[in-house]
Each structure stands twice: as structure tokens, then as C-alpha cells.
Amino acid sequence: MSLPPEKASELKQIIHQQLLKMDVHGRIREVLAETIREELAPEHQQLSTEDLIKALRQRGIIDDVMKELKFVTDVNEKERTSAPKPSTHFVDREPPVLKKTNIDPTRRYLYLQVLGGKAFLEHLQEPEPLPGQICSTFTLCLHFRNQRFRSKPVPCACEPDFQDGFLLEVHKESLGDGSKMVDATTMLSICDPVHMVLIKTDTFGETTLVASYFLEWRSVLAAENGITNIAVELLGVGTESSVSVGVLNIRLEMYPQLNKMLSSEITSTQFTLERQKTAEKERLFLVYAKQWWREYLQIRPTHNVRLVKIFAQDENGVNRPVCSFVRPLRAGRLLDTPRQAARFVSVLGYERAPVIGGGGGKQEQWCTLLSFLCRNKGDCEDHSNLLCSLLLGFGLEAFVCVGTKAKGVPHTWVMTRGTDGTITFWESLTGHRYIHRPVNPDDPPLVEQPKPLYPYRTIGCVFNHQNFFGNCQPSDAVDVCVFDLHDESKWKPMSGEAIKSVCPPGATSSVPPFPPLCASAIDAAVTSNEVELQLRILVSEHRKDLGLSTVWDDQLSYVLSPALAAYELERTTGVSAGNEEFQDAIRRAVPDGHTFKGFPIHFVHRNGRRAFATCLRSPFCEEIICCRGDQVRLAVRVRVFTYPESACAVWIMFACKYRSVL
């Protein structure tokens, strides 16, 4: 059987890749050296190809290669014999067959392999998970030049078994690099690091940020054969940012191989120059910031208690200008409107940075965007920075506001300024919007003043990726604040040039680039069905414990759907629709002489058991679930609405109808 030339070369490439993967070349060299030592030393005779193949066969290397080769017919056979798929809307649970990646021979790629971890001492006592047992897992998330990757979850252990490879494109058309082949010197000027974030997921599905690391990949440009092995020590986050959490073994390789490698002196000189340049920019900005702060305090002594935040600590304990946490972010086709963006940010989980010990103090930790998205939850600052970035991406003039809520609790929220001067506050944790109408303190007492609906009390400063303004009005109360940011008697600005020097695009490697948003991996229909079935079982068991039988009304459950869709629409757009049809359908579903009760509730997680426990704490919901009476029929409807980054809004409605007996 003859193959066309292009197929033959493709087959050769596949065989070559397989041999590289199994390190067959290395094993052949060992066998060759051993055979020469054993058989050639005495008489110095010529070693033939047959002798070498015989030696390889004796040591079982040829058998190993043959076992590793998998033929396409096996996959087809498996597909033919697999169980028939159910006819309803369910996801196929079969593990996906790995696809071949088409490598463009005119592009440069960095192949990053994670070959296991060690010294994760926190998990030293962790027992080996039994087959099928649910256990805590580690997941590694990567971002490099607008590309994002996620490893397979591996059980938490002292030596976690990471065995993953990621093909990172060094040159991307979307970054304006074109399709040219780049040499080592050009790649040395690409200072984007590989951002690696390690996430731990416990048995309840709760995520924790374990480590955030910026990998300098360019050492591979000076490595022999274009391959280098690195042991990366991961440090903890927040208060543990100086404590080692474990070591990852990483192998870096360039594809295709470089014709000419750089010397290690050139790469180390480049790294030193970059560090010096960044350090000098940061030093000059710090000098400027100190001078600005001195001038700000001289305006009014009470300014020293205002929340004017110029620097913030990231998850690694590094102090960075707050303006570097924000930049315009476009969500592509994933989000259509600014209000939908606000809804998306609000359904990402809220969690304050953990503090070890008591005292009630707030641990400050402004996460980088990748860490926030991978963990799927963060503090109010993380939510505000993301929302401000998305609103800037939608072309609005948006700022992050730093101030306080009731009882003097520090808080951040987002503000947009319309072209007509309208000021709108956006609460990033709820998605609510408030129009700001300032109170004029000089008005006579009889003049009716607008009543503020927002929860904010004071404001110290506002900032975005290009501007920073400190509030220097006589009072920092939000309700009397005038947001004319160009009036320097009310807002003290920072130099735009100074901000540009330490924020992208002016800044270099010290500020991590923003990752793109990822589409949701959750199937809304399947997840809705799963949570609903789980809740039905929990309700039936709960009623059984009370000595009550449970009869479900499927039609009534289905009729609840429009209400849940209307609730989500209202949260997203602020517009309520479809209530008349829902009420009409309920009247038709509930016969005369019967009573109907319904209880909707909203969650941002998909854990049915947790949701049920929360619902039982509400007396209204408990009354429905534990309903007694004549001809009691129960209904429950779950509707999961998916958003980017696998965030979701989960609406649940419990309902019952029963004959009213006086």
C-alpha cells in the first residue's frame, strides 16, 4: 500500500512524536552502549542493525512501542459498542478522545509540561483516595499572551501527580505579530510571563487559591537542544506569601527547534536590564506618590483619615498602584451589554480574604484577574476592578470608587459618568444601579432634598487605568459630593504621565496582562435537571421524616418556569416582563377552593443540599415544604442561567397547592 507524500510525512511526524514521548531514542542509546560494552569489547567486530534490533527486542523496548501505538479503528470500535444515548437532553459522559493539534510550521510554540509536584507538605498526612471516592483536587490554570489553559484535576497529595502538557503559541495574530517565523533574539524581547495559578477544590466544590506564580520562560532560549527543566517553588498567598506550599517540576521546549540558541549571558543581561528599568519606573512613581500625598495633606489636615488608596497588595503580597488593577476588557461575544456585565460580576462568589486569628481586622488582598476568575470568587475590590474594566471595554467612562458603607466599613464600588454629567453608581456585588443626585448643603431648610437610595456613606478617591483623583471637598460624604472631576478644587488629580509609566501599556513585566474571558463549560439544561432532581429527593425525605407523603405535580412545576426567567431578566435589565401570563397560568393550574403558595430564591452555587438547608431556614419556604392539608400537591422548579467563567445564577421556586379546609 503506497501513501501520498504528504500522508507519509504526516505518519513519520506522528511516529517521531511517539518515539520522543516515550524517550525511545534515549533507551536505544543505553542499549547500544551496553551492547557495545558487552559484545564488542573482546574482538572489536562490526555491530550490525540485526544485532541491535535483537538486543532491543530482548529488552522489550520494541514491545513497549507497539503497545503504546493506538489505531483509529479501536476508537471507532468503542463508539459502535458504546451504550445508546438517551433521547432527552443529556450530556454524553464518555471521556473525550484527544484531538491532534495542528502545529503551524511557520509559528513558534512553547511546549510546557508539568511533570508532577513534590513537597506539598500540607497534604503529607493525606490518605490515598480509594477508587471512586470524592477527594480534594488541585487544578493548575495558565495564561500566556491571550491564551488560557487548565490542567486535569489531580488528587491533593504531598506529591501531586500532575502530568499535563500545554502548547503555548509565542506569536499570535491577534496580538499583531502576523504569521512570520521569529528567531530567538525577537522572542527575547517578548517579556510576557506565563501566569500559573494553583487552585484547590474541596469535596464540597469550594475553591481556594493556593498559589500564583509568574514563570519566566525565556531561559529556554539559551538551553541546550532547546529544552530546559525547572523546579518551580510555589509560595502561598496573602499572609502566607513568604511560605513555600510546594514545588512543580516543569519542562520547557521550543517547537520547532531553534536553529541558533542564545548564550546564557545574553538572556541574563536582558533580564537584569528589564528588572532595572521596571525598578527605576516604580521608584520614580513612589517618589511622585509621596510628594502628591504630602500636597494632599496640606490642603486639609483631616485628609489623613480619608480612604485615599494609591497602592494595594496583590495575592503575592506585592504592592502595586491601584490603577494597574484596571484596564479596558472586552468580553467578545460572551457579554452583550454593560448591565449584563454587571450581572455576570455579581454572580461571581463573594468572599473576604482569609485572616489567621481573631481581631476583626480586614486582610487586604486585591487579586490579579486570573486568580479571581479561576477561583470564581473574591472580595468587593476584585468585583469592582473587573466590573470597571468591563464597563471601560463597553466604551463607558468608568471609575472604581474607594470609600465606606454604613458603620464605616471600607468598601469599593463602580461609578460611570455620562456625557451629560449623569453620575451612576454600580454595586459590583449585587448588580444594582443608583443615580447620584447630590444634596446641596447651602439650600434653605424647606427645600426638599433627594433621598439617597445607595448604601455608600463616604468616598476618598476614584481611579481607573489612566486617572487617579483624591477627594478634597470639605466633606467626604457621598450624598453631598459633586463629581466634577476636572475641578481641581474638588478633586486632586495625579499626573497622567506618572500613572502611564507604571500601568500598561507603558509598564513592562511588573504588571500581569489581563486574560480573556472564557465561555461557560456548564450545560444549563442538564445542571437544572440535576439540581431539581436532587431537591425533589431531599424534599421527599424531609417530609417522610415528618410522617407526610409527597405527591409531585409536574405540570405545576413546569408552569413556574416563566417566573424564574422573568426574575433573571429583571436582575439583568431592570425590566419586569411576563407577569400577567404567569399569573394567568397559575390561576388555571389551581382549581377553585384550593390555595397556592410559592417561594422563589436565588443562589450563585449549584449545590442542591446547601440550597435546601438555606431554604428550610426561611419560615415561608418551610411552610410550603412541610405543607399539611387535603389534596396537597408539591412543585419545584430549578433554572440555571450560565455566564462566562462557569459562573451561574441559580433560581429555585418551591410551590404547593392544597384544598382549603376551614
SS (H, E, C) 363-423: CCCCCCHHHHHHHCEECHHHHHHHHHHHHHHCCCEEEEEEEECHHHCEEEEEEEECCCCCE
- 182 CB-near residues (< 8 Å, 6+ apart): 108, 170, 171
Specify which residues 9 forms β-bridges with.
none
Say yes or no: 402 and 455 in one domain: yes
**pLDDT band, very low/low/confident/very high, at 87 (cuts 50, 70, 90):** very low
Roughly how many angstroms between the first and final C-alpha of the chain, as a whole number? 88
pLDDT tens-digit readout, 303-348: 988 999 999 999 998 999 999 999 999 999 999 999 999 999 999 9
User: Among residues 452, 469, 501, which one ends one of the domains?
Assistant: 501
Whether 268 maps to a domain, the answer reads no
For residue 71, the model assigns a pLDDT of: 45
**How far apart, in whole angstroms, are the C-alpha atoms of residue 236 and residue 363?**
15
Cβ-count burial of 403 within 10 angstroms (0-12 exposed, 13-18 middle, 19+ buried)? buried
Say yes or no: 252 and 284 in one domain: no
Whether 96 maps to a domain, the answer reads no
Say yes or no: 229 and 144 in one domain: yes
Domain of residue 190, CATH code: 2.60.40.150
pLDDT for 428 beyond 90? yes
Amino acid at 546: L
Say yes or no: 552 and 637 in one domain: yes
| Three-state secondary-structure class, residue 253 | strand
Q: Nearest to residue 398, comparing CAs of 427, 382, 369, 418?
A: 418
Say yes or no: 439 and 321 in one domain: yes
Q: Can you point out the beta strands (E) in 66-136?
A: 109-118
Say yes or no: 345 and 439 in one domain: yes
| Three-state secondary-structure class, residue 566 | helix
Dihedral pair phi/psi, residue 654, rounded to 5°: -95, 140
Please provide the average confidence, as pLDDT, over all residues in the chain: 84
Alpha carbon of residue 52 to chain centroid: 52
pLDDT tens-digit readout, 228-246: 999 999 999 988 888 999 9
DSSP 127: P
For residue 189, the model assigns a pLDDT of: 87
Specify which residues 657 forms β-bridges with.
596, 633
User: Among residues 262, 293, 315, which one ends one of the domains?
Assistant: 262
Number of domains in the chain: 4
77 or 527, which is more confident? 527
pLDDT for 414 beyond 90? yes
Tell me what the mean pLDDT of segment 461-486 comes to. 93
Say yes or no: 417 and 465 in one domain: yes
**How far apart, in whole angstroms, are the C-alpha atoms of residue 483 and residue 476?**
12
Whether 74 maps to a domain, the answer reads no
Dihedral pair phi/psi, residue 541, rounded to 5°: -65, -40
For residue 385, the model assigns a pLDDT of: 96
pLDDT tens-digit readout, 14-63: 776 766 666 766 676 676 666 666 655 545 556 666 676 777 677 766 66
pLDDT tens-digit readout, 144-183: 999 999 999 999 999 999 999 999 998 765 555 555 677 8
Tell me what the mean pLDDT of segment 207-236 comes to. 91
Other CB atoms within a 10 A radius of the CB of residue 146 amount to: 14
CB 622, CB 597: distance < 8 Å? no
Cis peptide before 256 (omega within 30 of 0): yes
Whether 329 maps to a domain, the answer reads yes
**pLDDT band, very low/low/confident/very high, at 619 (cuts 50, 70, 90):** very high
Whether 26 maps to a domain, the answer reads yes
Domain with 649, as residue range(s), is 524-659
Say yes or no: 305 and 237 in one domain: no
440 or 410, which is more confident? 410
Say yes or no: 376 and 455 in one domain: yes
**How far apart, in whole angstroms, are the C-alpha atoms of residue 179 and residue 182?**
9
Whether 81 maps to a domain, the answer reads no
Q: Which long-range contacts (CB under 8 A, 24 or more apart) does 134-140 make?
A: 134/203, 135/203, 136/200, 136/201, 136/202, 136/203, 137/200, 137/201, 138/162, 138/198, 138/199, 138/200, 138/210, 139/198, 139/199, 139/201, 139/374, 140/114, 140/164, 140/196, 140/197, 140/198, 140/199, 140/248
Say yes or no: 297 and 386 in one domain: yes
**pLDDT band, very low/low/confident/very high, at 89 (cuts 50, 70, 90):** very low
pLDDT for 295 beyond 60? yes
For helices 5-21 and 61-68, angle between their N-to-C axes, nearest 10 degrees: 120
- 467 CB-near residues (< 8 Å, 6+ apart): 323, 399, 485, 493, 494, 496, 499
Say yes or no: 334 and 251 in one domain: no
Say yes or no: 379 and 490 in one domain: yes
Specify which residues 596 forms β-bridges with.
657
Q: Nearest to residue 343, comparing CAs of 621, 651, 634, 124?
A: 651
Whether 75 maps to a domain, the answer reads no
Q: Nearest to residue 403, comparing CAs of 493, 330, 328, 463?
A: 463
**How far apart, in whole angstroms, are the C-alpha atoms of residue 244 and residue 198?**
13
For residue 80, the model assigns a pLDDT of: 39
CB 459, CB 476: distance < 8 Å? yes
Q: pTM for the whole thing?
A: 0.81
Tell me what the mean pLDDT of segment 128-154 comes to. 88
**pLDDT band, very low/low/confident/very high, at 95 (cuts 50, 70, 90):** very low
**How far apart, in whole angstroms, are the C-alpha atoms of residue 211 and residue 111?**
22
**How far apart, in whole angstroms, are the C-alpha atoms of residue 221 and residue 214?**
17
CB 112, CB 165: distance < 8 Å? yes
Lowest mean pLDDT among 58-62, 412-416, 524-528: 58-62
308 or 503, which is more confident? 308
Whether 601 maps to a domain, the answer reads yes
| CB half-sphere exposure, 636, CA atoms < 13 A | 27
Q: Nearest to residue 516, comparing CAs of 110, 112, 143?
A: 143
Domain of residue 530, CATH code: 3.40.33.10
